[in-house]
Amino acid sequence: MVADTAVLQIAPELFPNGIGRYAVGGLLVGLGVVVIYLGTGISAGASTFLESTLSYVSEQSRFQRYVASRDWRLVFTAGIVLGGFLFALTVQSGLLSSSLYQPGTTGQLHQLGGFTFWTTNVQPWRLFLGGTLVGIGTRIGKGCTSGHGVCGVGSASKTSIVGVLTFLAVAIGTAQIVAALGVSP
Amino acid sequence: MADRHPLFKPLIFVGGLIFGFGLGFSHMARPEVVLQFLQFEDFGLVFVMFGAAIVSGVAFAVLPRISDRAPLTGDAYERRLKAFDRNVLIGGGIFGVGWGLSGICPGAAYASLGVGNVTILWALAGMFLGAYAQGYWRSRAADAGPAVTGAD
């Protein structure tokens, strides 16, 4: 990629893993959103799945607002999980390789029947507490990294741009503080 | 919905498949890589979010000029803009603390399960708990009367 080499020549230390996997992955994430929008006119975000799925098990009025969309949100999420699985079966397992993909050294790789799976080293308490705050925050703040970050920014929504700048700035501050306190990984 | 086009759900599924594959390929499904970005050790994730936003942005801008309605729903290609209020800042702040602490966001968490990361179930359990807590609180606030319904 021309952009790849140009950026890497100017600031290689900012991109220790290159930019190929990030740029290609981002284009695919955008393409997934476009496929759904093209056929349905829906700009799909990932976090409303949490509330819409809770409508199956809770009568709270807040969740019942999402009854009409809960079936396709379940299908969308199943697609995301299986999309990750498809990636694990092909690229992560070495079945497909590309100069645009750098495997990286984070977490743990495991072999199972010829396939390579990956697990995180980030501690469970961080995942659980962080996940809880993500669950509260995306629902109060009307979106997450896909709803605000991809769909909202893509449609030049001022609300989404402010939302993204807010959570990005707070997340950077939080991650820096947590790292400074010596929590790793 | 009963009267939806038979290809409605298959198309949503294919879109999710590409979306999830992209999250795996970009390593956004790896919390460590997101944390490296937030700690300024690897700026690659800028390309994920902006790459995706540019692709979707082109479609959002071009499609409404080509066609009036989406083929599978008959819905207009319109921008569904969310109203700005202080909840965007409050919720964004809470989400930011959670994202910075865990390195995980909803879509990436689902994809992370797909790449084999069973440990991510901790984050998914937390997300449902958090979403339930805010829904419980806001349902009560909404049921309490018009004085507090302005919160949404």
Confidence of residue A2 (pLDDT cuts 50, 70, 90): low
Residue B100 lies in a domain: yes
- The mean pLDDT value for B95-114 works out to 98
Residue B2 lies in a domain: no
Structure confidence by residue, pLDDT tens digits, B51-89? 999 999 999 999 999 999 999 999 999 887 899 999 999
DSSP A95-142: SS--TT------SEEEEETTEEEEE--S-HHHHHHHHHHHHHHHHHTT
Nearest alpha carbon to residue A28 among A79, A94, A95, A93: A79
Confidence of residue B151 (pLDDT cuts 50, 70, 90): very low
Distance (Å, whole) CA A84 – CA A48: 19
The pLDDT of residue B149 is 45
Confidence of residue B152 (pLDDT cuts 50, 70, 90): very low
pTM for this model (two decimals): 0.94
pLDDT at residue B2 is higher than 70:
no
- The mean pLDDT value for A19-36 works out to 97
Contact B108, B127 (CB under 8 A): no
Residue B118 lies in a domain: yes
Contact A40, B66 (CB under 8 A): no
Residue B149 lies in a domain: no
Confidence of residue B3 (pLDDT cuts 50, 70, 90): low
Instruction: Give the residue, B2 or A94, on which the prediction is more confident.
Output: A94
Contacts of A136 in chain B (CB under 8 A): 91, 94-95, 98, 130-131, 133-134
CB contact under 8 A, A25 and B24: yes
Other Cβ atoms closer than 10 A to A133: 24
The pLDDT of residue B142 is 84
Minimum mean pLDDT range among A7-21, A75-89, A148-162, B84-98: A7-21
Helix, strand, coil distribution of chain B in percent, nearest 5: 70, 0, 30
Confidence of residue B148 (pLDDT cuts 50, 70, 90): very low
The pLDDT of residue B17 is 98
- What percent of chain A is modeled with pLDDT above 90? 91
Residue B132, domain extent: 8-144
CB contact under 8 A, B115 and A117: yes
DSSP B84: P
DSSP B87: H
The pLDDT of residue B119 is 98
Residue B27 lies in a domain: yes
Which one of A25, A85, A175 has the shortest CB-CB distance to B38? A175
Count structural domains, chain B.
1
Residue B58 lies in a domain: yes
Interface test with A, best of B11, B13, B14, B21 (most A CBs within 10 A): B21
Residue B28 lies in a domain: yes
Residue B1 lies in a domain: no
> Residue type for A75, please?
V
**Helix (H) or strand (E) segment spanning residue A31:** helix A20-40
- The mean pLDDT value for B29-50 works out to 97
**Helix (H) or strand (E) segment spanning residue A112:** strand A108-112
Structure confidence by residue, pLDDT tens digits, A121-167? 999 999 999 999 999 999 999 999 999 999 999 999 999 999 999 99
CB contact under 8 A, A171 and B119: no
pLDDT at residue B134 is higher than 90:
yes
Contacts of B138 in chain A (CB under 8 A): 62
In DSSP terms, which residues pair with A108 in a beta bridge?
A119
Nearest alpha carbon to residue A171 among B46, B135, B92, B140: B92
Confidence of residue A1 (pLDDT cuts 50, 70, 90): low
Minimum mean pLDDT range among A46-50, A112-116, B99-103: A112-116
Which one of B16, B52, B87 has the shortest CB-CB distance to A26? B52
